[in-house]
Structure 1
Amino acid sequence: MSWLVTGGAGYIGAHVVRAFAEQGIDAIVLDDLSSGRKGFVSGATPFVQGSILDGELLENAFERYGVQGVVHLAGFKYAGVSVTRPLHTYQQNVTGTATLLAAMERAGVDRIVFSSSAAVYGTPDVDLVTEATPKHPESPYGESKLIGEWLLADQAKATGLRHTSLRYFNVVGSGTPDIFDASPHNLFPLVFDALLDGRTPRIYGTDYPTPDGTCVRDYIHVADLAAAHVVAAKRLDAGEPIEPVYNLGSGDGVSVGEIMQAVAAGTGIAFEPERAERRAGDPARIVASGELAARDLDWRMRHSLADMVSSAWSARQAAATP
């Protein structure tokens, strides 16, 4: 018996697969490689190349590998870009999730851990977001993730599906030198690429209602995130009580300006970031409580901001070395 990890060749997904392996749990990767990298998948891990929009492919994978559960990470994950590509975002994240759930039902696969997002909250009017905070997504991406949660809840009522959704925002760092964040839209790779190219990193938006004018977010280490996914899967396997949603939050916020300072310190490259206009779909502040996840999923911040920067920088430098 094994778990299928959709998007398992991506930055986050590959860490989740490694975390499963560390716990002695078999994992199967399904990825269309639109943003994932085959090199992130260990040669010992079965790999299925294809899309979650392909129901027949999913059913074949379930049967061939004796899949008992799914960690669903595949999707289009860029909030800013989703504003200009809403239909693509909905196809990948909503139609894709519905197709996956239908294939699971036909194959008798009855448990799923869903990678959701703090983007479902939009710009909350509270200092600390909890799972009960009203949801007001401000981008097609955030909307699509909230619809994904609804799909799981409705399918649970109809079929008894066991599920949980993990909400988080900025994932950084690296748990192993051979996996790095290669996204062209995420903050750390944008900053690192600029530094490696001899360019000055850029901050988008310095007039937000925050202490230094830059966006404030939860930044969590990818290895901590991966570990929480595995604990959630194990609870579902054991039939233990589990909440429908959890925030994987730090309980504290870090601004983009503070990130820039930490990067300068961690890389040893002094720079003063350029300042640019805001990007569409970026709320001013999202900081979430992780208390519920700490209770049930052994969630905690095991890595400092300095750890996040140093591990991410080491992995990115390794990737740049011939």
Structure 2
Amino acid sequence: MNQPRIGVVGATGYAGVELIRILSRHPLLKITYLAAQKLEQSETYGHKISAFRQFGELPALEPFDLERCLDLCDLVFLALPSGISGRLALQIHHAGKKVIDLSGDLRLPKEVYESWYGLASPLTQKDTHAVYGLSDWQAEQIANQSLISNPGCYATAALLSLLPLCQTKLVESQSVWVVDAKSGSTGAGKSPQPHLLLSELSNNFYPYRVGCHQHTPEIEQKLQEESKQADLQIQLTTQLLPIPRGILVSAYIPLCSTISFTDLYEIYQNAYHDTPFVSILPCGEWPQIQSVLGANTCHIALHVDNRTQMLQIFAVIDNLQKGAAGQAVQNMNLMLGWPMETGLSLIGSAP
């Protein structure tokens, strides 16, 4: 049986490099095309990305060419910035190829996207709807699909934390769900920016995009869909940690009825019993970013504060793995009918 031919467009960004790291160890496929937008001529991938210098089994890195991409690939990952990625993803998909887009371009309706991203949406009325690739929550909807919109990193951690509540009557219907989210600097991408310089970020910690982070409507859209509450809102605050990778989400949810930790733990265990990648921690154990670095995993902890009638939820992921490349490969596995864990790590690399 011929192995599927896989391409990565945006192969030099942080998510693209992580994709190639995972795909190069995947036993069921062949990487046949690597491309970058800002490249004038072809060169060996190990010359461009030194971590691969001694790995000679990859094709050359090329300037992106649509016809060559279509000729060499059966499935293509797009890991380009929002505003560019979605347009190319749709072109490749319209040509009959399977596509996974890691940008935000295909996650939201046209009007919502343009309002929150400040960019023109690539979607038209004729475009095929991309399936939202939250693979640990809706594996069946992703299986055998041809166009997947990979979730955002903050959205992944927040939704895996909150979605099991949508199937209960524990939360006050008119309440705003508070989501406090902290990320390492790779979540901002590879483009040089003054606030990401070592001198600026080291020994520093601060909020950014307060009240206007583009993952807000993405999280709300999925929560509203699952809860059947069209007015459900979150208050998302994003903050930048002085570390390269990793996300910690802390959510604060007002409860309308009491529940024991044991019963709540059972709800979450049942929600994720079909995936090996989400771990619900025992009572009194709290998640740590270093436990998930390099792994396609999410660790979730729960605390019911009976004094304040608040539920506290804590979750950690690696923003480049579960928050980007790892989840994208998990989606690919589901699209191609393979076990979702194929080629992916359950073990973090810490310390």
TM-score range, shorter chain: 0.3 to 0.5
Greater strand proportion:
2
TM (norm. structure 1) is 0.45
Greater helix proportion:
1
